[in-house]
Amino acid sequence: MKGQVFAITLVVMSGVATFIMFISTMDSLNLTRNTFYRDYGFADVFVNLKRAPESLKEKLKNVPGVNQVETRVSAYVKLDIGGFNEPVTARILSIPDDGKPLLNRLYIRKGRLADPAKDNEVVINENFAMAHGFGPGDQFAAVINGKWKKLTITGIALSPEFVLLMRPDAISPDFKRFGILWMGRKALSKSYNMDGAFNDVVLTLYPDAKLSDVLAELDNIVERYGGFGAYGRKDQISHRMLNEEFRQLQKSSKIFPTIFICVAAFLLNVVMSRTINTQREQIAALKAFGYNNTDVGIHYAKLVILILFAGLVLGIAGGIWFGKMLGAIYMEVYRFPYLIYILHNWVIIAAILISIASALAGTLHSLWRAARQQPAEAMRPEPPARYRVTLIEKIGIGRWLTQPSRIILRNIERKPVRTFLSILGIAAACATMISSGFFKDSVAYMINVQFILSQKEDMTVSFAEPTSRRAIYELKGLEGVNSAEPFRTVPARFRFGHRSYKTAINGIEPDSRLHLLLDNDFKPLSLPPSGIVLTDYLGKMLGVKAGDMLTVEVLEGSKPVREILVSALVKQYLGVTGYMDIKALNRIMGEGSAISGAYLATDSMFREKLYQRFVKMARVSGTVVRGDEIRNFNEIQARAMLFFTFIATLMACFISFGVVYNSARIALSERSRELSSLRVLGYTRGEISYILLGELGLLTLIAIPFGFIIGYWLCGYIAQALASDLFRVPLIIELKTYSLSAAVIFVSAAVSSLIVRHKLDHLDLVEVLKTRE
Amino acid sequence: MIDKEEETHNTRDVVFQVRDLTKIYKMGEVEVHALRGADLELYSGEIVVFLGPSGSGKSTLLNILGGLDTATSGSVSYRGKDLTNASEQELTEYRRYHVGFVFQFYNLIPSLTARENVEVVTEIAENPMVPEDALAIVGLTERLDHFPAQLSGGEQQRVAIARAISKNPEVLLCDEPTGALDSKTGIVVLEALERINRELGTATAIITHNADIAGMADRVIYLSNGIISEVKTNTVKKAPGELKW
């Protein structure tokens, strides 16, 4: 039973390890986040506005429920980093002149805070510093309110506000091309003419405060100062992304361990049934000596727990190891000053209890059967097994089958439940493999749809302020720009019935050739002259269909509120937005032909020159290059993907090895007499191997299409579970993923078979003939 | 008497020739001498009964004759071919084409019907019988499509005999063929063996510890303690129906 216990150990270990890995990583990140939030005063509410006098602070403080208030100056700046010829932008934030922010305090990793009076000193965030190899004392340039300025780094910092740092509208974190700078309030205010004023507020609330009431009141107060809408933590991007990550970990902690535990329970069931069957006589003897059913039951339950023991110990150790590894991978993207690894006792206890309970549940039936037997009955050998002619033979192919093939078919049919569960087990292994490949496939597909079919621009230029449409001509005139199309983006809140969602309206050219909207069949959709088009997922969130009237509250300028017809829903995997004809949006805003920026198609030869140009153009606040964005996205994805693929492959191999090897060993033990008889009759080793391994091959062959179906279903479930307004994962599984999964299963089945084949070659013919089953 | 025996044997072909056959098993730390230098010949067409108590070495002898086991020393040849130094592959081939086995516990394949159990052998044999004919010889024409679980012990043993003879073997080796059967059923099985020997001329070696069966043999070979203690030729053979135990 050594080999079988080993196989079960692997499966139990995988289940326990994944369970502990996911839960401990989630708990650790959660604890780390909460500790960091608490120790560094993460704000509860965030408000951006155009400009308000410092005196407004008192008024904000008096809003019922508000505890602490801190005003800040915030702006987006372009950076000019020597030796890095790609556009880089940053958000620059003020820190109070006393150097001690009340909220969102900085954890200084290296160096010191900036001198509040000096407008050439900044603290930068750690990811950004690491991406560029910056340390205190290093210098780079920034265009601050139109003025090119050399900045010196005084410190490297982390903030609870930017645990995950992402440029607004970006598809993934990009530490090279987006950073956070902190500068003294006095110096920054001077640069932006914000003396005695602010344009950014962060607040904390009392525990009993009602968030929606506070937000409404704050919006009310800052409205006439150009407020863009207050929002709570749950809409703060860094916090949101962390929450999404926790949600994924939580789902994963349920799905994968469940698969393993079920497989382990099944394997234990098979092994225990067999063990009990061969020990009928011992059981009978024990009972004849006066042991009762409970004693016998406990004896075997102990055996089950003993078998589980190694798996549990290794699983707990492996789970901690993997958990720390996964935590480290998260830490590359999510910046905490430290990671507090925590494994709650209850997680270990739960893992142990769940494993034992499901293992016992899996073996209960055979235990019960053993306990029920009368001693006298148990001492007699089991009657010969009953077989039938299988259905498959009856339908006509029977004549063509050799006897060994018949043996295979009839054995499979005689134990339909076990056969079914074996198939299910191998299929689960295959499905696990598919689910790991699925991410790669769907992300590639998502990128393709988003950037090859839909957003064809290779560069996006944003203006600091809404600008006249004439600026387009200036851009078009630049060397290297093949075409340019304007866009206008305004923040807005959409309401439908009792549901609302805050996002943006993107006004684009109705016959845009760079920025296409796609219908469900990925065909370009032309924008109607009036009416609004929503991302399909936004429509789902709001419960809106094409043809409904949507209430649109613009959160910029004169803040118009309009009822607008939803003319269509469009396919989009990243983010959620409303789209309008740019002219229609301009009309609603009552602003003439203003634009927020432009999409460009450029000549790659001139691209570097263009960045340089844009850095110097005062009205350009930022430039994004599509190619950089995609490359960065792939890099960030790749590392995490590699880890998950590695884990999934390992686990899938363990499952399929566990199932196939166990089936083979059980079959060998049940049929060694039969196989020996055939050897005596002159069958070769190869011929009897065919009977045993052919059966497993057949099961594997049947299991793989099932695995494809279960895998597809599992991926569908994962895709659905992960869908959020940030991104939707399309259910795309490439042929490559299917074939790789099938190959992994076949190889691990083949390896298990080889091990069993080795045993088969050493059957003791004489020994087997002497014994009666 | 001895002269007559010599004369009879010289006129017949030798199937097996065994010389100074020794077999030592290692059971843990103990060495068991199962055979201690046995010498014998087996001739075509005869029925030989090996008689001896358990542990006398008769099963070991049969296993070595059948190519299931190898000797520690000495030699065994089958039709002049040496089995002692045969490779695993050669032994498999030998069992496949030349020897029929009948065991105490039948060793049928439970998932195959009577007919299919015979076909297991006819499918791989060089010059097989029609499976139905083999089953007819043992009187099981009516039970062709029954599975082992649906047959009585005697019927199962007769299927095993049909399977053993269906390849038209040179020699039939039977290890306690009636050991698991009551006497009435045992006699039916022995009748089948006798009939096959008579009609097909297959040399038949029967191992038993039941002395009464010796009556149907041409020769009776007594084994005790790993050596052949006596060889007796029956001048009058009994029909299995006349046997009693």
Using one digit for the tens of pLDDT, what is the confidence trace for B77-125? 999 899 998 998 999 999 999 999 998 888 899 899 999 999 999 999 9
Alpha-carbon gap, residue A617 to B150, rounded angstroms: 95
In the prediction, which pLDDT does A277 show?
76
Closest-approach residue (CA) in chain B for A414:
B111
Residues in CB range of A277: below 8 A, 6 or more apart:
A366, A382
Average pLDDT over residues A169-176: 83
Taking CA–CA distances from A772, the nearest residue in chain B reads B105
Partner-chain contact B111 A678, CB within 8 Å? no
Give the pLDDT confidence score for residue A440 in this predicted structure.
84
Query: Measured between CB atoms, does B177 come within 8 Å of chain A?
Result: no
**Cβ of B124 and A682 within 8 Å?**
yes
Nearest residue of chain B to residue A763 (CA atoms) = B68
H-helix or E-strand containing A91? strand A88-95
Which chain A residues have a beta carbon less than 8 Å from that of B101? 680-681
Q: Is A477 exposed, middle or buried (0-12, 13-18, 19+ CB in 10 A)?
A: exposed
**Of the candidates B107, B116, B147, which has its C-beta nearest A403's C-beta?**
B116
- Nearest by CB to residue B110, choosing from A387, A403, A769, is A387
Is residue A234 located within the same domain as residue A187?
yes
Q: A773 pLDDT band (50/70/90 cuts)?
A: very low
Q: Is residue A301 part of a domain?
A: no
Asked whether the beta carbons of A478 and A603 are under 8 A apart, the reply is no
Question: How many CB atoms neighbour CB A385 within 10 A?
Answer: 16
Residue numbers of B between 97 and 116 with CB closer than 8 Å to A: 97, 99, 101, 103, 105, 107-113, 116
Contact assignment for A403 to B93 by CB distance below 8 Å? no
Query: Is 90 exceeded by the pLDDT of residue A356?
Result: no
How distant is the alpha carbon of residue A384 from its chain centre?
A: 53
Nearest to B221 by CA among B236, B207, B239, B235: B207
Do A587 and A666 lie in a common domain?
no
SS3 category, A19: helix
**A721 domain-assigned:** yes
What is the pLDDT at residue A757? 87
Task: Tell me how many degrees the CA angle A20-A26-A29 measures, rounded to the nearest 5.
Answer: 130
How far is it, in rounded angstroms, from Cα A492 to Cα A389? 71
Using the predicted structure, report yes or no on whether residue A655 has a pLDDT greater than 90: no
Judged by CB atoms closer than 8 Å, whether chains meet at B63 and A766 is answered as: yes
Q: What is the mean pLDDT of residues A100-110?
A: 92
For residue A536, the model assigns a pLDDT of 94
| B178 and A CB contact within 8 Å | no
For B2-98+170-242, CATH number?
Answer: 3.40.50.300
Structure-token pair, residue A273: 């049934």
A116 half-sphere exposure, CB direction, 13 A CA radius: 11
What is the band of A430 on the pLDDT scale with cuts at 50, 70, 90? very high
A501 and A437 belong to one structural domain = no
Residues A488 and A452 in one domain: no
Q: Are residues A567 and A421 in the same domain?
A: no
Name every residue whose Cβ is closer than 8 Å to that of residue A333 and which is 6 or more positions away in sequence.
A164, A173, A636
Q: Nearest chain A residue to B107 by CA: give it.
A: A677
Sign of CA dihedral A292, A298, A300, A303: negative
**Mean per-residue pLDDT, B60-82:** 91
Q: Does pLDDT of A379 surpass 70?
A: no
Please identify, among A586, A602, A618, the residue that sits at the C-terminal boundary of a domain. Answer: A602
Residue A382's pLDDT is what? 65
Beta-carbon separation of B92 and A682 below 8 A: yes
B89 touches chain A (CB under 8 A): yes
- The stretch A731-757 carries a mean pLDDT of 91
A384 touches chain B (CB under 8 A): yes
Q: Do the Cβ atoms of A407 and B103 come within 8 Å? A: no
| Interchain CB distance below 8 Å, B111 and A407 | yes
Residue A753 — left, alpha, or beta (φ > 0 → left; ψ -120 to 50 → alpha)? alpha
- pLDDT-derived band at A307 (thresholds 50, 70, 90) equals confident
Report yes or no on A322 lying in a domain: no
CB A632 within 8 A of CB A172: yes
pLDDT tens digits, A50-96: 999 999 999 999 999 999 999 999 999 999 898 888 889 999 999 99
d(CA A487, CA A595): 6
pLDDT at A509 over 60: yes
A4 versus A504: the higher-pLDDT residue is A504
Within 8 A of B169 by CB-CB distance, chain A residues are none
Is A662 in the B-facing interface, judged by CB distances under 8 Å?
A: no
Answer whether A570's CB lies under 8 Å from A455's CB. Answer: no
Within 8 A of B105 by CB-CB distance, chain A residues are 769, 772
Inside any domain, residue A105 = yes
Q: Mutation test of the interface with chain B: which of A414, A681, A762, A772, choosing the one with the most B Cβ atoms within 10 A?
A: A681
Half-sphere exposure of A328 (CA within 13 A, CB side): 8
| Chains A & B: contacts with CB separation below 8 Å | 83
| CA distances from residue A746 to A602, A701, B27 in whole angstroms, order as listed | 49, 9, 41
Smallest CA–CA distance from B98 into chain A, residue? A682
Nearest residue in A to B147, CA atom: A387
Put simply, the answer to whether B96 touches A683 (Cβ < 8 Å) is yes
CA-wise closest residue to A439 among A28, A165, A721, A747: A721
Segment A249-303, tens digit of pLDDT: 888 888 888 888 888 888 888 888 878 777 777 777 788 788 888 888 888 888 8
Give the residue from A583, A602, A621 where a domain finishes.
A602
Evaluate whether A629 touches A171 at the Cβ level (below 8 Å).
Answer: yes
Phi, psi (deg, nearest 5) at residue A204 = -115, 155
pLDDT digits (tens, 9 = 90+) for A582-601: 999 999 999 989 999 999 99
Amino acid at A563: E
Range of weakest confidence among A276-280, A691-695, B212-216: A276-280
- Cα separation, A67 vs A234, whole angstroms: 18
Using an 8 Å Cβ cutoff, are A136 and A75 in contact? no
Q: Residue B7: its pLDDT value, please?
A: 46
Residues of chain A neighbouring B108 (CB-CB closer than 8 A): 677
Angle, helix A416-447 to helix A403-414, in steps of 10 degrees: 90
Q: Do B120 and A678 touch (CB under 8 A)?
A: yes
Any idea which of A286-300, A430-444, A505-519 has the lowest mean pLDDT?
A: A286-300
Residues 6+ apart with CB under 8 A from A470: none
Neighbours of A619 (CB within 10 A): 15
Share of chain B above pLDDT 90, in %: 57
Cα A12 to Cα A22, A171, A656, B37: the distances in Å are 16, 38, 13, 55
Q: What is the pLDDT of residue A346?
A: 92
**Sign of the dihedral defined by the CA atoms of residues B208, B210, B213, B217, in that order:** positive
Asked whether residue A633 falls in the same domain as residue A540, the answer is: no
Decide if B92 and A679 are in contact by the 8 Å CB cutoff: yes
Chain-centre distance of CA A590, in angstroms?
A: 42
* Contacting A residues, span 739-768, partner chain B, CB-CB under 8 Å: 765-766
Task: Kindly tell me the burial class for residue A423, based on how many C-beta atoms sit within 10 Å of its own C-beta (0-12, 13-18, 19 or more).
Answer: buried
Cα–chain center distance at A422: 30
Judge whether A685 lies within some domain.
yes
Which residue blocks in A497-569 are alpha helix, DSSP H? 536-542
> Do A765 and B68 make contact, defined as CB atoms within 8 angstroms?
yes
Q: Residue B179 corresponds to which tokens in the numbers above?
A: 């050991």
- Among the candidates A194, A220, A239, a domain finishes at A239
Region A531-546: what's the mean pLDDT? 95
Maximum C-alpha span of chain B: 52
Yes or no: say if B36 and B22 are a contact pair by the CB < 8 Å rule. Answer: yes
Q: What are A148's two structure tokens?
A: 């090119």
Residues of B in contact with A687 (CB under 8 A): 124
Q: What is the model's pLDDT at position B22? A: 94
Range of the domain at A641: 391-456+629-773
The beta-carbon neighbor of B68 closest among A673, A683, A766 is: A766
* CA pseudo-torsion sign A576, A579, A582, A586: negative
Contacts of B111 in chain A (CB under 8 A): 385, 387, 406-407, 410-411, 414
Q: Would residue A272 count as lying in a domain?
A: no
pLDDT at B213 over 70: yes
Query: Does residue A99 come out as left (phi exceeding 0), alpha (psi in the -120 to 50 range) or beta?
Result: left
β-strands B81-82, B47-51 pairing: unpaired
Answer yes or no: do A569 and A715 share one domain: no
Within a 13 Å sphere around the CA of B82, how many CA atoms are in the beta-carbon half?
10
For residue B4, pLDDT over 50 is answered with no
Q: Which residues of A touch B103 (CB under 8 A)?
A: 677, 769
* Cα–Cα distance for residue pair B66/B78, rounded to 1 Å: 10
- Tell whether A362 is covered by a domain: no
Nearest-Cα distance to chain B for A765, in Å, is 7
Give the integer Cα–Cα distance in Å for A511 and B209. 102
Chain A contacts of B124, Cβ < 8 Å? 682-683, 687
Chain A: closest CA distance from residue B179 (Å): 12
> Position of tokens 């029929």?
B100
Query: What span, in angstroms and rounded, lies between the C-alpha atoms of A176 and A624?
Result: 12
Report yes or no: A549 at the B interface, CB cutoff 8 Å. no
pLDDT the model gives residue A772? 55
* Domains of chain A: total: 3
Closest CB to B124: pick one of A384, A414, A683. Answer: A683
Which range, of A70-84, A99-113, A462-476, A663-677, averages the lowest pLDDT? A663-677
Beta-carbon contacts of A247 under 8 Å, excluding residues fewer than 6 positions away, are A722
For the ranges A1-5, A364-368, B235-239, the maximum mean pLDDT occurs at: B235-239
What mean pLDDT comes out for the span B21-30? 87
What does the alpha-carbon distance between residue A219 and residue B100 come to, in Å, rounded to a whole number?
98
Q: Both A207 and A154 in a single domain?
A: yes
ipTM: 0.89
A72 and A106 belong to one structural domain: yes
- Is-contact A575 A726, C-beta < 8 A? yes
- Mean of pLDDT over chain A: 88
A409 min Cα distance to partner chain B (Å): 9
- Residue spans of alpha helices (H) in chain B: 2-10, 58-65, 88-97, 114-122, 131-137, 153-165, 183-200
- Residue B133 reports pLDDT greater than 70: yes
Question: Is A152 domain-assigned?
Answer: yes
B66/A683 Cβ within 8 A:
no
Same-domain check for residues A493 and A635: no
pLDDT tens digit sequence for A604-642: 899 888 888 888 888 888 888 888 888 888 887 777 777
Residues 6 or more apart in contact with residue A553 via CB below 8 angstroms: A492, A493, A494, A495, A559, A561
Closest partner residue to B105 (CB to CB) among A403, A766, A772 is: A772
Same domain, residue pair A86 and A202: yes
* A642 against A426, higher pLDDT: A426
State pLDDT tens for residues A205-242: 999 999 999 999 999 999 889 888 899 998 898 998 88
What would the pLDDT profile of B164-179 be if each residue is shown by its tens digit?
999 989 899 999 898 8
Q: Which two tokens stand for residue B226?
A: 């790993």
Q: Say whether pLDDT at B2 is over 60.
A: no
Give the residue with greater pLDDT, A9 vs A180: A180
Average pLDDT estimate for B47-74: 90
Under an 8 A CB cutoff, do A684 and B92 touch? Answer: yes
CB nearest to A411's CB, from B92, B94, B111 = B111
Minimal Cβ distance to A385: which of B68, B110, B113 = B110
* Residues of chain A neighbouring B90 (CB-CB closer than 8 A): none
Q: Give the pLDDT score at A292.
A: 81
Give chain B's mean pLDDT.
89
A383 touches chain B (CB under 8 A): yes
Q: What distance in Å separates the CA atoms of residue A129 and residue A81, rounded to the nearest whole number?
A: 12
